[in-house]
Structure 1
Amino acid sequence: MDLRHIRSFIAVYEEGSINRAATRLHCAQPSLSLQLRNLEESLSVELFERHARGAR
């Protein structure tokens, strides 16, 4: 886990959407999804419930 993962988590939390968070962070949505998946795996916990209309 590094600062990039934490920034990604906060952006998704604040935006409520991985796509909007990716736009805010100026990165591709698949890249951000991978960062979140890696963070979840390193912590052994699901941080967000992913839905068609966003993440909670």
Structure 2
Amino acid sequence: MGLDLHKLDHLIAVAEEHSITRAAARLHLSQQALSTSIRVLEREVGVPLLERTAAGVVLLPAGAALV
């Protein structure tokens, strides 16, 4: 089974915005829906893709490989 392209688009938006909130607004999704999408993608690939910090969201190496 391949990866869902919508989830990859979600990851790209978060990476570009460095913020789940801004990426959700850009994608016209709720913050909760976007967070869920990213968590599901992380479960599908079996590794964390993002690091969430007070300064924002950054891609981990596995996330960068997907983007």
- Is TM (by shorter chain) over 0.5? yes
Distance 2:53 2:33 in 1: 18
Do structure 1's residue 13 and structure 2's residue 15 form an aligned pair? yes
Greater relative contact order (Cα 8 A, min sep 6): structure 1 or 2? 1
More strand by share: 2
| CA-based RMSD | 0.8
Match of 2:52 in 1: 50
Considering only CA atoms, is the larger Rg found in Structure 1 or Structure 2? 2
TM-score when normalising by structure 2 = 0.79
TM-score when normalising by structure 1 = 0.93
Identity of aligned residues (%): 48
Cα deviation, residue 16, structure 1:
0.3
Segments of structure 2 that go 5 or more residues without pairing to the other structure are: 59-67
Structure 1 residue runs of 4 or more that deviate by more than 4 Å after TM superposition: none
